Structure 1
Amino acid sequence: MQDRNILIVEDDIDMRRLIAQYLERAGFDVREVGNAPEMRLALADGPVDLLLLDVMLPGQDGLDICRRLRGDPDHASLPIIMLTALTDMPDRVVGLEIGADDYLGKPFEPRELLARIKAVLRRSPRMAQPAAPAAGVVPAELEVIRFEGWELDTRSRQLISPERVSVGLASSDYRVLLCLLRHPDQPLSRDRLLTEAFGRERSPIDRAVDVCVSRLRAHLEPDSRKPRIIRTVRHEGYMYSPTRDAAAADVL
């Protein structure tokens, strides 16, 4: 198994040391920093496979850091799990909306953190395993998927617009889009998309998939007057349909 490099950004020294010790015992290579400037130096100093990012940081908070990383082509696809003492659902949604791959409220069980880390890393490009294609789906080994004038490069996880502008996607957004594209004209439930994109089961109030679709639509469908590329299928979930048959009675 390849070593995985985790960078912890947490200003509470005792907290980050406990997390680091637990992850090191689990076989990860771990580095620790306490603020945004130290994080930038660490990112430039060596490979990072996943970022554990606290929200309440001195100077520049974790939400702003996440937002800036998602706008940086060099780190747009870096897996990010946010850690925070803020447990209200609106705060969790904000974290997901700006591009975090997962969100864990303090206090948390170390085993849950480890499970979340492993699930996010399984979705990273270096860990991705090609799936066996079924009839009527896009082959998993296809490196560039073309749709509606757009291109999704599965090697770099870059979304290329019809105007040839590159868009870096968050890991979860990439996985949701890839799953939809590989199953055209097939409605996929939120439970299935959450399992494949986040590696976890869906709770009754889990909006992670809806947030991902909202972000993808902001990229793919900036003109709301045009037909949907990702369509909402009533009582079923979401679907990519090349035919764009908006007349279907059960589709919004």
Structure 2
Amino acid sequence: MSEFSPLTTQPIPPWIRVRVTEGGNFKDLKQIVRGSRLHTVCEEARCPNIFDCWNRRTATFMILGDVCTRACHFCAVTSGRPSELDLGEPLRVAESVAELGLRHAVITSVDRDDLRDGGAGIFARTIRAIRRRSPGTTIEVLTPDFQGDFEAVRTVVEAGPDIFNHNTETVPRLYARIRPKAVYANSLALLRHVKTLAPHMVSKSGLMVGLGETEEELLEVFRNMRAHNIDVLTV
């Protein structure tokens, strides 16, 4: 019996089609990112929404380099052995956030299983640098699972982001196929720990659909998230 549910195909609706336009805002943002020697998940993960987002001057900065220590099968980010930490990166991110005039900044990263703290310290430095440079900007972090290290989670939480996001990505049954180096229960535990440390901080998670999950499996994930006090879910 197949591991995946039956697949049916339909024409792509017009509202989901992407318009490829490189307007003035797109070019400005690209120049800022290049000039600051920064990475965005928009480019590294080959996100199809890059033209829409960048033309509206929004981007998700990707810290801790552009090489991931994992190789999730849904992701286009390069995997391998990362380079040394760039300690100047947090300040450059903060300067770029200020230059773009962002009201809401989103910071994510590659997985850095090679680091003792999983990169939590650089997350914290980046949050604090943005706070100093742009005190009116809200900050959302989208973190890796830190291999279940709650002290790493504490490091990020204590830096004071407005939103702590960690994606569960898919249903438990598909982890071995889609996300082989991660553990579903660890992701839920991480998000619950965020609320334990900071009850008023917004916790958030997201998952993809269309990977072979069933409706009942999705509903079970939704129930799990509610049971773990996760405030926001994106699908």
* Fold similarity call, TM over 0.5: no
TM-score, normalised to structure 1's length? 0.31
Compute the TM-score of the two structures, normalised by the length of structure 2: 0.33
| Structure with more strand by fraction | 1
